[in-house]
Amino acid sequence: MKSRLTVSLLLLAALLSGCNDSDSDDTVGVNDGDTSTPAEPATFNFVEGTIAQAHAAMRAGTLTCEALVQGYIDRIEAYDDTGPTLHAVINLNPRALDRARTLDRNYAVEGPSGPLHCVPVLLKDNFDTAEVTTTAGGTALQYNRTPDDAFSVAGIVDAGGIVLGKANLDEFAFGFQGSSSIEGQVKNAYDQSKGPGGSSSGTGAAIAASFAMTGTGSDTGGSVRVPSSLEGLVGIRPSLRLVSQDGIVPLAASQDTGGPMCRTVEDCALMLDAMVGFDDGPYANQRAAFAYDSAAIETVDEYEAITNVPATYTDYLNADGLQGARIAALQPLFGNGNGENAHVQARLMEAIEAMRAAGATVDILSEDDLAERNVSLDALTDFASNSRFEFRNDLTSYLMSWPSNLDGHLRSFDAVETNGGYEARNIGTFAFYGAIGRAIEDESDTSDEAIGYRQAYQRNLEERPAIVRNGLMRILDNRDGNDTSAAALGAPYDALLYPSVLSLAPALGSSPSTGSNNRLSPFSGFPALSMPAGMVQPAGNDSAPALPVGMELLAREFDEPMLIKIAYGYQETVQPRAAPTFTPELAANDD
């Protein structure tokens, strides 16, 4: 049963002392040229509300931090376990309102606490927090209470953000169905008969339904990008090592990364600012060099030099960001054109035409075009995920990272598997991961099967990164051969484009068709951003709700600024996102 706060909504209209900025540009209703008409104060709507809009309302004195947090709590109360019953939220932070009141008191004297001042954030429930349990969705971990916040969560709080609570997920981040033994099946915010994708399913549905301003997800093989696609969100899978993995329940440390999930590109840019940074702790997974041309990171200076993190990613929010951009659309990744995939392809072709009209060059590369660059996309994605090789050891390492006498939590993969606190559908998954993990660790096991697992894992660590990275770089650099001295076929590309998911949202309880598209980013370490291409009406049912279609952009390692620039240009040109209809604005409580 959820721990929910049930305080009624109090929208406070009194101005905060010292915080009314009468000269602010963040007002609405200004009648240019008519100085006799006073400007309306900025107002805030919870549905689709942005960070900038909330901050403008606070400056105008029409919104307090407490009212903002309470408003989202009220929306969760109204729509998560009742009404549409999205089951997107596992737990709320009992200290969220206290932090909001503290921020209000400080705001009256000192102004905003940071770029994320009073931004309510829902964390996927595999991000550690000291104030709320971290279950990874499994009842086996229901007592997990870590002594501190994950490194990236601490960054969000330091920037002024408020941990509103924890979002549901596909338990242990295993897949794309989006259900857990803790909270059950998450429903799609646009159509409750449809699935939300996974594994960051709760974050996807919650942010789409405006249960919080922003959220976090983790991505091993698509777990940020798939639910972002099906819920009409912007989701960023950062370059490996950009975001510390400290305090995020692992699935495969060599592929995992945390990332933001938001309704707008600008909100994700602000979230990414807060989440990045060098972590010298033992669980950061930032320092080791990969098996391709990437140097080890040992110090903060090396982190800054290698990752080239800007002062703020918001510097790349250019409404004309598509002007002059060069994008390669990878036609073999668009699907077979049958069934729902036809809708996805049609929407992406419309998106491509809109990009071209806004000044971008978008070349559609066929299999023959890629062969000319000596690239086979099948060869780049024909590897297994490292989750099967690493989960057993990585989960044990995570569970051993704090003393059990603090909370009585289980301390190993074997203990979790034996406990059985997970959905029945995952019994086989635990057995599979356990068997492979033991074979990897036990060098004395000379069976053909064990040797095969060890060889496959070694190939993934030593060969896969270079093969995938070099293939993608030949496309991005627009070269016709295997090496950097090969002749160019044209100007280089800034990003690659393909569908995030090949189908529309699937039936509830099912996984969407992702193909192999989601593998390119984790297998290379390059960053990827999923964003709405637009909405489509499912075929044969004019009364069914329209559903989002997502498109994924992939850029060179640590070139998140390019992804943000292109995505923001498309967002401002097309305005592709539409709010779900089942979670409308709540009526204000005037009591």
Report yes or no on 341 lying in a domain.
yes
Report yes or no on 412 lying in a domain.
yes
Instruction: Please count the residues of the chain.
Output: 591
Same domain, 398 and 484: no
Sequence-distant (6+) residues with CB within 8 A of 452 are none
Q: How buried is 446 (Cβ within 10 angstroms: 0-12 exposed, 13-18 middle, 19+ buried)?
A: exposed
Same domain, 536 and 398: no
Residues 515-539, mean pLDDT to the nearest whole number: 95
Residue 311 in this model has a pLDDT that exceeds 70: yes
433-454 pLDDT per residue, tens: 999 999 999 999 999 999 999 9
350-377 pLDDT per residue, tens: 999 999 999 999 999 999 999 999 999 9
Report yes or no on 165 lying in a domain.
yes
Predicted local distance difference test score (pLDDT) of residue 20:
36
Residue 32 in this model has a pLDDT that exceeds 50: no
Query: Between the CA atoms of 157, 159, 165 and 167, what dihedral angle is there, to the nearest 10 degrees?
Result: -120
Phi, psi of 7 (to 5 degrees): -70, 140
**What tokens does 33 get?**
């040229």
Whether residue 316 contacts residue 269, with contact meaning beta carbons closer than 8 Å, is answered with yes
Residue 17 in this model has a pLDDT that exceeds 60: no
Among 313, 341, 368, the domain-final residue is 313
pTM for the predicted model, two decimal places: 0.92
> In this structure, what CATH number is given to the domain that contains residue 57?
3.90.1300.10
Residue 29 in this model has a pLDDT that exceeds 90: no
Residues 9-29, mean pLDDT to the nearest whole number: 32
Same domain, 62 and 100: yes
147 secondary structure, DSSP code: S
State the pairing for strand pair 547-554/495-499: antiparallel
Q: Note if 223 is an active site residue.
A: yes
Whether residue 362 contacts residue 356, with contact meaning beta carbons closer than 8 Å, is answered with yes
Same domain, 439 and 293: no
Task: Give the C-alpha separation, 9 to 562, whole Å.
Answer: 40
Residue 21 in this model has a pLDDT that exceeds 90: no
**pLDDT mean across residues, the chain:** 91
Residues 389-403, mean pLDDT to the nearest whole number: 97
Q: Note if 200 is an active site residue.
A: no
Same domain, 93 and 200: yes
Predicted local distance difference test score (pLDDT) of residue 488:
86
51 secondary structure, DSSP code: H
Q: In a 3-state reduction of DSSP, which class is residue 443?
A: coil
Catalytic residue among 113, 180, 199, 239: 199
Same domain, 437 and 552: no
Same domain, 263 and 374: no
Catalytic residue among 113, 124, 166, 218: 124
Whether residue 512 contacts residue 223, with contact meaning beta carbons closer than 8 Å, is answered with no
Residue 193 in this model has a pLDDT that exceeds 70: yes
Catalytic residue among 152, 180, 201, 223: 223
105-117 pLDDT per residue, tens: 999 999 999 999 9
Residue 204 in this model has a pLDDT that exceeds 70: yes
Q: How does residue 208 score in pLDDT terms, banded at 50, 70 and 90?
A: very high
Predicted local distance difference test score (pLDDT) of residue 538:
87
Same domain, 402 and 347: no
Same domain, 401 and 275: no
Task: Give the C-alpha separation, 70 to 183, whole Å.
Answer: 22
Same domain, 350 and 453: no
Proportion of the chain above pLDDT 70, given as a percent: 91
Phi, psi of 532 (to 5 degrees): -65, 130
Predicted local distance difference test score (pLDDT) of residue 219:
98
Among 463, 496, 531, the domain-final residue is 463
528: β partners: 237, 554
Residues 518-527, mean pLDDT to the nearest whole number: 97
Predicted local distance difference test score (pLDDT) of residue 294:
65
Predicted local distance difference test score (pLDDT) of residue 133:
97
Query: Which of 282-286, 319-323, 475-479 is least confident?
Result: 282-286
Predicted local distance difference test score (pLDDT) of residue 290:
62
Whether residue 265 contacts residue 313, with contact meaning beta carbons closer than 8 Å, is answered with no
Which residue shows structure tokens 């209809």? 581
Residue 54 in this model has a pLDDT that exceeds 70: yes
Phi, psi of 552 (to 5 degrees): -110, 135
Query: Which of 12-21, 140-149, 579-588 is least confident?
Result: 12-21
Report yes or no on 589 lying in a domain.
no
Query: Between the CA atoms of 502, 503, 506 and 509, what dihedral angle is there, to the nearest 10 degrees?
Result: -10
Proportion of the chain above pLDDT 90, given as a percent: 86
Same domain, 392 and 426: yes
Number of domains making up the chain: 3
Same domain, 164 and 150: yes
Task: Give the C-alpha separation, 464 to 471, whole Å.
Answer: 11
Query: Which of 20-24, 66-70, 201-205, 291-295 is least confident?
Result: 20-24
Which residue shows structure tokens 């440390």? 253
Q: In a 3-state reduction of DSSP, which class is residue 336?
A: coil
**What tokens does 530 get?**
């999923």
DSSP 472-519: HHHHHTTBSSSSTTSPBSSSPPSEEEEES-SSS--BTTS----TTGGG
Q: How does residue 41 score in pLDDT terms, banded at 50, 70 and 90?
A: low
Domain that includes residue 474, residue range: 331-384+465-556
Report yes or no on 376 lying in a domain.
yes
Q: How does residue 167 score in pLDDT terms, banded at 50, 70 and 90?
A: very high
Report yes or no on 2 lying in a domain.
no
Residues 302-327, mean pLDDT to the nearest whole number: 97
Among 441, 463, 485, the domain-final residue is 463
Query: Which of 303-317, 394-408, 529-543 is least confident?
Result: 529-543
Q: How does residue 292 score in pLDDT terms, banded at 50, 70 and 90?
A: low
**What tokens does 528 get?**
């990827």
Residue 2 in this model has a pLDDT that exceeds 60: no
Sequence-distant (6+) residues with CB within 8 A of 463 are 291
Report yes or no on 17 lying in a domain.
no
Task: Give the C-alpha separation, 328 to 187, whole Å.
Answer: 34
Report yes or no on 10 lying in a domain.
no
